[in-house]
Amino acid sequence: MARVFITGSADGLGQLAARHLVALGHDVVLHGRNRDRAQAAMRAVPGARTALEGDLASIEATRSLARQANAAGPFQAVIHNAGIYGPSAGRRETIDGLDDVFAVNALAPYLLTALIEGTQRLIYLTSGLHQSGDPDLRFLQRRTQRWSGAQAYANSKLFDVVLAFAVARLWPHVRSNAVDPGWVPTKMGGPSASDDLEQGAATQVWLAVSDDESAKVSGRYFYHRRTRAAHPAASAVSVQDGFLVACEQLTRVRLAPVRA
């Protein structure tokens, strides 16, 4: 039995992955951005152990979530599932003055990765749209560029792959991978989505707990249990290191280069 923590598991892919893991007999800890969402997660996933609370748009709340996770762990796997799409109406700022798409989708996974102790497998949810992401680290907050919600989302999903690959390089004893679930009919994906919802959750479940040799890898980008080529920038050490430094400056938390 594995103990697995899943961010953003009150609905959508996170909830579905949690249900599958519970059905397989694993010890699952859920997450919601506030008490109501955490309680909704528990109602939706009978058999889960508990649900933690924390708004990933806030650095301090994300720190608190990491403390809760450490108290509930250690975890064999953490699935970084939570994410938001960029609003078309314009850039929104968090309580910390950051672009909220970047804060939730990219910075929060960095901070949780750096602070949650003892995890053996890390799975980061990305998107095929990461291929159109801009790796230019000068524009992480998109303060001076014309706003595009779609571009902000693509950029954040590219940095999820950058983070997964950086962790794989720096923590050789941890299996760290990125997963594209496809365009699936969740609240974010909408009813017109063309991919299968069940398939969208299957790969992260497999990477979290499977003993298959093909799942016991690191530094890969997966779509439906098959590796695919990621954006070339994700493998560039200069981009990885630059992203980690930027996140460290924003959070004052360093992702240590070695974890035994």
Residues with catalytic roles:
153, 157
- Integer CA distances (angstroms), 66 to 86, 124, 203, in order: 25, 16, 24
Q: Distance from first CA to last CA of the chain, Å, rounded?
A: 22
| DSSP conformation class of 3 | E
- Integer CA distances (angstroms), 78 to 2, 12, 186, in order: 11, 17, 21
Tell me which residue of 115, 126, 141, 120 sits closest to 250, measured CA to CA.
141
Looking at the DSSP bridge assignments, the partners of residue 44 are none
DSSP string spanning 48-117? --EEEE--TTSHHHHHHHHHHHHHH---SEEEE----PPPSS---B-TTSSBHHHIIIIIHHHHHHHHS-
C-alpha to C-alpha distance for 16 and 152, rounded to whole angstroms: 26
CB burial of 239-252 (b: ≥16 within 10 Å; e: otherwise) equals: bbbbbbebbeebbe
Residue with tokens 């695919």: 228
C-alpha to C-alpha distance for 109 and 160, rounded to whole angstroms: 8
